[in-house]
Structure 1
Amino acid sequence: MDNIYLIMVVVLFALAISDLVVGVSNDAVNFLNSAIGSKAASFKVIMIVAAVGILVGATTSSGMMEVARKGIFNPNLFAFSDIMYIFLAVMLTDVLLLDLFNTFGMPTSTTVSIVFELLGAAIALAIIKVSNDPSTSLSEYINTAKALAIISGILLSVIVAFSVGAIVQYITRLIFSFNYQNRLKYIGAVWGGVAITAITYFILIKGAKGASFMTSDTKEWINNNALIIIGVSFVAWTVLLQIFRALFKLDILKFTVLVGTFALAMAFAGNDLVNFIGVPLAGLESYGFFKAAGNVDPTTFKMSALAGKVATDTYLLVIAGIIMVITLWTSKKAKAVVKTSLDLSRQQEGDERFGSSFFARSIVRSSINASNSINTIIPKPISNFISKQFDSTKYEEQRIALGKDAPAFDMIRATVNLVVASILIAMATSYKLPLSTTYVTFMVAMGTSLTDGAWGRESAVYRVTGVLSVIGGWFFTAFSAFTVAFIIANIINLGGVFAIFALIVVAGYIMYRTHLISKKSTAKTTEVSEFEIEEIDGPIEADKILDTCKTTVTTSLNKILNIYVKTFKDFENEDRKELREKKKKVNNSNKKIKKVKDNIYQTVKKLQDNEIDSSLYYVQVIDYLRETAHAITFIVTPLYNHIDNNHSVFSEEQFKDLNELTESIKDLLKRAINIINNDDYEDLNDFTEAIQLKIEDLREMRKKQLKRIRKEKSGTKNSMLYLNILHETQNMILHVNNLVKSQRDLVNYKK
């Protein structure tokens, strides 16, 4: 029987490794967002700084594991077997939830996850105990005050972090404006001194105070002399920065951002490490206490020993730190989570990841009305001064000139992000308030981006929807963590060993599936990006427009041709699965072409002045390509719906006519592709005549179908579908004809 619990400990540590991987993928956004977004240094340098911070934080973390042992439940009332079931349910739930969120690039809180998983699993076992012993109550087993404190921390941190971030950024921008280089010469050292002093204090309070080498006297001295530390640190840093700037041309903002990145990475590893390895370590300690007790019954042996404080072995923390560093360098999901945060805070417009929502539209509309009302009250001179400080015209010109190397936002905002997040987290820690680093860093970034006007009227509704989606995801995390852990704990308690192995297999399969989703998502992004002209640095020439048009059009037409031909075969065979796949392919093609069309604005902005006329033909080509994609969509989707609703397919006579039509359309599309590929438009008149002849054929096919209807040889659904196919086929070839003509005009213009 003891071997079963030993296996459970091994499983807990195996899950801990997986949890470390998915946890770093989720929390990397906390300390990478500002440095990567502002491009304070090369990606390699940023990652090295973050990696060193993680290693230092991990190795100096010692007494942060109490939450797993006694923070949520009272271990003295649970038996050893109960504790192991709780811990296993928590780790299985944690790995699954974090991996799922990371797959879709949504940042969430590992702190909230672990707390509500412990709460859910503990309540599941506590309910069983209360039902067996009615003299006890649920409140005896559960530390409800801790859970309520975490919920309060969520609400408070979201509101405070966003508000403080927005206000501090507003004041900072009034001081520096977007054109801050000249002002840095005079007040850069003072600003850097304030920023790094806040970060230094943050390192002492939030990071190093948990280090094993710091005695209780040292920690008490730090707390009692906080003002002295802050004052001396400010003077020292200000003087040092001024000296290094004068002698070595030190970039104060870059240095500040990198120091802040190190601090947050250190705090993450030192404090959030409990979220990943706290439960397995508690499980190992529980097993140690159980073995030390001798030959005792695991179902009755109470775990009172867990209530004590136990220091964690340094070698385990070092191993955890190494795993976290490796994950940081290799995780694609970490980059996806960082991308979500950057997309919502970037200064420029672009492809918006999130759509619009009623709530977001209402918030934006109310904000615009409130802003207009305030502007009527503010005196004109003050309003003009504020407008000048927030004028980003020159900054935008510099950003456009940088092209692909342009940062998502400038380093003034990056330093504010880091400083405000550091101060808020340090203050909350000093007052022993529960607080999530994910919530604070994300909401500060959103507040500063709002102040900077990154949420302009072109993008505000999408950014607000994105932020609301992330915040909703945080609360969904709490609900999901509690519910899933509750269910899994009950399953383990009822099914024992068999349930444990079954759940491990299921968890592995789900993680494998989410990995496939992540790979497919990456592949789709890669496919789309090959058509994106706005990724090109600097001004665009007409040649580049022409080459991109040719690639986009021929690739898309080949896909449309392939789908059109095969769809009717699948329909004839009543193959619902294949039709569903065709429908997915059509939707994906539509999204890619839509993205190309949405990026027309960015493309035209980058055209050289003497090439501006080429944009007219480029816009026409993309418009006709989009209409062609719409036509194939309105063919495939009704065919799939027809089969999905179990309606009868066409008659042999109808299929015979359709097969002949398919072959002729196939020839026309191939001719169009060859004309564009070879830039040979001498045959265009013949091609246009062939299109007109095919339209006549389609007219005859309609007449035949109308005769079938009169003779009642075809039902209503059947007839409407058939006529729709003929109509959309006609639309498709007309748009293809116009597309080829527009491509010809673009080629002739360049010649």
Structure 2
Amino acid sequence: MLKCLYLSLPQFKKYFMETFYLLLVIFLFILAIFDLSVGVSNDAVNFLNSALGSKAASFKTIMIIAAVGIFAGATLSNGMMEVARHGIYQPQYFYFSEIMCILVAVMLTDVVLLDIFNSLGMPTSTTVSLVFELLGGTVALALIKIINTEGALQFGDLLNTDKALTVILAIFVSVAIAFFFGTLVQYLSRMLFTFNYKPRMKYFVAVFGGIATTSIIYFMLIKGLKDTTFMSGEVLAWVDQNTSKIVWGCFISSTFIMQILHWCKVNVFKIVVLLGTFALALAFAGNDLVNFIGVPLAGYAAYLDYISYGGTVSPDGLLMTSLLGPAKTPWYFLIASGLVMVIALFTSKKAHNVVKTSLDLSRQSDGDEAFGTSPVARVLVRTCSNMSSSILSVVPESVKQWTDKRFNQDEIILEKGASFDLIRASVNLVLAGLLIALGTSLKLPLSTTYVTFMVAMGSSLADRAWGRESAVYRITGVLSVIGGWFITAGAAFLICFIVATIIHFGGTAAILAMVGLAIFSLVRSNITFNKKAKKETVSPTVKKLMVTEDSDVALDLFREHTRNELESVLAFAGEKFDKSVHGFMNENLRDLRKVLAAIEEQKFHLRQVKRIGTLGVTQLDRAIAVEKGLYYYQGNDFASEIVFSLRRMTEPCKDHIDNNFKPLSDAQKDEFGKMADEVITFISRCMLEIKRNDYTAFDQLVEKAVSISNALTQLKKNELKRIQGQSGSTKVSMVYLNMIQETQNVVSFTSNLIKVSRKFQME
């Protein structure tokens, strides 16, 4: 800083501008680190989904293989960097300051947008984000330039429309292509191997493994090697001249190796899945690394061009023609990016959240569905069902019977806890890897997320995983994810357009404001996600329950889990009842809204508890499963009814206060306030009985429930007398009577809950 004191005004201006833009480039790289982290969280589903869903190996092994694939792929991605340099905009018509404005807006938008989708557990496309952010920022600056030049420049001069349309079409066409080939290849593979694939492995598995391995080697290595920074021209020329020999050599040798492994009792499909996981992780890094570091590298190249003039040209007077040249990414940037991606893969909790969404939509069995139903999904299911019936009506009966035998799911071979089998996992990985690598070799930044997700959905459809009990939920889920993709495109374009415009006119102050807003958004998102993750964390008791094979141990764990959950429900009920009553009495609208929001979360939690309980019942001995299972479900139903009663009590109270109607009278507050304290005390005593697993005061609690209910009935009579005497507001009387009725329900269901809990815990 002292150096600035001895500089002339032109020198100071030059020094300041160079320092400012250097800091801006450094900031772009810092954002790139965050972007790599959130990008890996989003895209981990692409290469982990099949291996984790089929339980092909331990979690640790799968993660290590994926990490090696990511690191290797990062070194092969140089050829894709040109998309961020001149794939969307025409840099020769933009000044250095304008290019930096676009790039900063793109990175700020990208980090925040991807983090939001990761927190929601929705897989989105980092490629679509990048392309539409570049489009949004470019259109914003293009409009400003067209206005300033009074029409001397046109959109065709500033926007690389041909390349942009090619990229966009390639992204969205890949969705249909991936779904079609995923369905077709999986159908043929299932017809060949069936669900009971082991007896048929001796005939086809070596050839299947050989084709899969050869395909992976050809597309991942031969097509990718030509863009690396360390391959000599002689080696590349030799590979190009001998491609067919290499392919046939790989096929013969890999087929032979797969046959040897099969004879050695090694499951070849597991080898293919793990090899496919490596290949898809490699393809992800090779194809998608541009989405994370392409923009900072473009900014870095632009900065180097700017300082090469030694301050003789201003940032507003230097056109970025240099960005038209080919990208030559230094190897150390690629290696550093690979390391950041590997670290993010192992440390990201949000990655698991996104993987769960994809597995829920593609698992073979029915179960608790993550999505509801929608009118569009119901129409699609009904239409497809009618079409299927029409087609099957003309198919010979013998053909239908033979086909049904090939798709007999009763013979399915699944690893314990797997969502689908190894056949489908192999198809998902190999086919997705081929399509993505093909796009990479053609310099088309296909969306890795779109391709892998749609291949997985197509293969699950072909596998008849979308049965009549689940099809409408799965289709709703798929449509929700696809809808999210279009939202990504629109949001990326619009937000980047706005941010670029603000930065252009606001300068340094606007950049600082946008940075602050981005940091606030990221911090808030992570705090919210961590709170949500804590609520959804599976307890150690449940984990032990799911793996134990001893029925007696399972019963003890099941009882402990039930006590913990019922205690939690009653603690929730007591707290929210108290907050709801006093919120209404004190006309605190905010507290009532918080209670309703908490009730919605609790309802969702109870559905999860019921699902876990269903799994817990399956761990019990058949002789006691029926009796204890009945008590468990009754207890869960009573717990749900307590929560529903709280909602029915709180909603009218919230609406009453929201409309600014008359509050409760002093007499109503006094008489109900005393009863509310008794109800809270009663709930607390019941909670302690369940927590201690000691029901010595059971009879007293039942008597207390009857006493409270009778007292509440008397309150209703008193209020009806007031209504007849026309003293007070009719509206508030209706809400008051509803409060009394729902409070009686809470007491009654709590009493029933402790009765059922006592029976469930008894030997």
Tell me which interval the TM-score lies in, with the shorter structure as reference length.
over 0.9
- Per the TM alignment, residue 15 of structure 1 is displaced from its structure 2 partner at its CA by 0.9
- What's the CA shift for 1:143? 0.7
Inter-partner Cα distance in structure 1 for 2:288 and 2:422: 27
Alpha-carbon shift at residue 434 of structure 1 (Å): 4.8
Correspondence for 2:283 among 242, 264, 267: 267
Matched with 2:55 is 39
Whether 1:387 aligns to 2:387 is: no
Q: How far, CA to CA, are the matches of 1:332 and 1:206 in structure 2?
A: 33
- Kindly report which structure 2 residues correspond to 1:203-602, keeping only aligned pairs within 5 A, or say none: 203-215=220-232, 219=236, 222=239, 226-246=243-263, 248-294=264-310, 295-395=312-412, 402=416, 406-526=417-537, 535-538=546-549, 541-599=554-612, 601-602=614-615
Shift of 1:115: 1.3
Hey, what's the Cα distance between the residues in 2 that align with 1:366 and 1:658?
56
Q: Match for 1:146 among 163, 177, 201?
A: 163
Matching residue's letter, 1:458: E
Q: Tell me the residue number matched to 1:171.
A: 188
CA shift, 1:530, in A, is 6.6
- Tell me the percent identity: 46
Deviations 1:175-213 (A, max 9, x none): 111111222233221111111111111213553332123
How many Å apart are 1:299 and its aligned residue?
A: 0.6
* 1:497 shift after superposition: 0.8
For 2:136, the equivalent position in structure 1 comes to 120
What one-letter code is carried by the residue in structure 1 that aligns with 2:641? Answer: E
User: 517-526 or 638-647: which moved more?
Assistant: 638-647
C-alpha spacing 1:38/1:445, structure 2 compared with 1 (3 Å) = same
What SS does structure 1 have at the residue aligned with 2:639?
A: helix
CA contact (8 A) 1:631 1:731 kept: yes
Asked if the contact 1:698/1:730 (under 8 Å) is kept, the reply is yes
CA separation of 1:232/1:284 partners in 2, compared to 1, >3 Å: closer, same or farther?
A: same
Distance in 2 separating the partners of 1:200 and 1:417: 16
Q: Please state how far the C-alpha of 1:657 moved relative to its aligned partner.
A: 0.7
Superimposed CA distance per residue, residues 91-111 of structure 1 (whole angstroms, 9 cap, x where no aligned partner): 111111111111111111111
Q: Which residue of 2 aligns with 1:636?
A: 650
Deviations 1:397-421 (A, max 9, x none): x65xx3xxx2121111111011111
Residue 387 of structure 1 deviates from its aligned partner by 1.6
Distance of 1:211 and 1:278 partners within structure 2: 15
Deviation at 1:78, TM superposition (A): 0.8
- The 2-side partners of 1:696 and 1:725 are apart by 15
Tell me whether 556-565 or 57-66 shows the greater mean CA deviation: 57-66
Q: C-alpha displacement at 1:580, in angstroms? A: 2.3
Task: After superposition, give the CA deviation of every residue in 1:624-678 in whole Å (9 maximum; x if it has no partner).
Answer: 2221221122122322332233233211110111111112212332343344445
Partners of 1:518 and 1:285 in 2: CA distance: 36
Q: Is the 8 A contact 1:286 1:303 kept in 2?
A: yes
- Give 4+ residue runs of structure 1 displaced > 6 Å after superposition: 527-534
Q: Distance in 2 between matches of 1:430 and 1:337?
A: 28
Is the CA contact (8 Å cut-off) linking 2:137 and 2:493 kept in structure 1?
yes
Distance 2:442 2:512 in 1: 43
Structure 2 residue ranges without an equivalent (≥5): 1-16
Instruction: Give yes or no for contact 1:286–1:306 (8 Å, CA) kept in 2.
Output: yes
Conserved in 2, the CA contact under 8 Å of 1:114 and 1:275?
A: yes
Change (3 A) 1:683 1:315: closer
Please say if 1:23 is aligned against 2:39: yes
Q: Distance in 2 between matches of 1:238 and 1:432?
A: 31
Report the CA distance shift for 1:368/1:310 in structure 2 as closer, same or farther (over 3 A): closer
Residues 70 and 307, structure 1, Cα contact 8 Å, conserved in 2: yes
Query: Is the 1:545–1:618 contact (alpha carbons within 8 Å) kept by the matching residues of 2?
Result: no
CA contact (8 A) 1:193 1:241 kept: yes
Mapped contact 2:74–2:282 kept (Cα < 8 A): yes
Looking at structure 2, the residues matched to 527 and 653 of structure 1 have their Cα atoms a distance apart, in angstroms, of 47
Structure 1 102/682 Cα, relative in aligned 2: closer, same or farther at 3 Å?
Answer: closer
Match of 2:632 in 1: 618
- 1:221 Cα deviation after fit: 5.8
Q: Is the 8 A contact 1:34 1:414 kept in 2?
A: yes
CA contact (8 A) 2:105 2:499 kept: yes
Instruction: Note if contact 1:28-1:338 (Cα within 8 Å) is conserved in structure 2.
Output: yes
**1:453 Cα offset (Å):** 2.2
What are the superposed Cα offsets for residues 33-86 of structure 1, whole Å, 9 maximum, x if unpaired? 111111211111111111111121222333331111111111111111111111
SS at match of 2:412: helix
Q: Deviations over 1:125-162 (max 9, x none)?
A: 11111111122211111011122222222331111111
Find the aligned partners of 1:9 and 1:427 in 2 and give their Cα distance. 33
Greater shift in the superposed pair: 218-227 or 256-265: 218-227
| Per-residue deviation, 1:20 | 1.1
Distance 2:421 2:380 in 1: 26
Instruction: Give the drift of 1:685.
Output: 4.3
Name the SS of the counterpart of 1:713 in structure 2: coil
Taking the aligned partners of 1:723 and 1:532, their CA distance within structure 2 comes to: 45
How many residues are paired up?
Answer: 742
More deviation in 581-590 or 422-431? 422-431
**TM-score (normalizing by structure 1):** 0.94
Give the secondary structure class of the aligned counterpart of 1:613: helix
Please report how far the alpha carbon of residue 390 of structure 1 lies from its aligned counterpart in structure 2 after TM superposition.
1.5
Moved more, 496-505 or 685-694: 685-694
> Cα–Cα, structure 1 residues 16 and 428, in superposed 2: closer, same or farther, change >3 Å?
closer
CA contact (8 A) 1:84 1:283 kept: yes
Instruction: Please say if residues 80 and 300 of structure 1, whose CA atoms lie closer than 8 Å, have aligned partners that are also in contact.
Output: yes
1:374 and 1:534 map into 2 onto residues whose CA distance is 46
1:446 & 1:410 partners in 2: Cα distance? 14
Residue 192 of structure 1 pairs with residue 209 of structure 2:
yes
CA displacement at 1:464 relative to structure 2:
1.0
Residues 1:667 and 1:71: Cα distance change in structure 2 (over 3 Å): closer
Structure 1 stretches of 5 or more lacking a match? none
Instruction: Give 1:227 shift.
Output: 4.4
Q: Partner of 2:4 in structure 1? A: none
Q: 2:739 aligned with 1:719, yes or no?
A: no
**Alignment-mate amino acid for residue 695 of structure 1:** S
Per-residue deviation, 1:565: 2.4
Cα distance in structure 2, aligned partners of 1:529 and 1:93: 39
Q: Judging changes above 3 Å, is the alpha-carbon distance between structure 1 residues 649 and 369 closer, same or farther for their aligned structure 2 residues?
A: same
Partner residue in 2 for 1:667: 681
**1:137 partnered with 2:154:** yes
Matched to 2:447, the amino acid is S
Q: Give the secondary structure class of the aligned counterpart of 2:226.
A: helix
- 8 Å contact from structure 2 (residues 51, 274) kept in 1: yes
Provide the C-alpha distance between the structure 1 equivalents of 2:260 and 2:547, rounded to a whole number of angstroms: 40
CA distance 1:84–1:531, change in 2 (3 Å) = same
Q: Structure 1 residue 527: deviation in Å?
A: 6.7
Report which stretch shifted further, 229-238 or 101-110.
229-238
1:681/1:69 CA distance change after superposition, 3 Å: closer
Structure 2 Cα separation of the partners of residues 425 and 27 of structure 1? 13
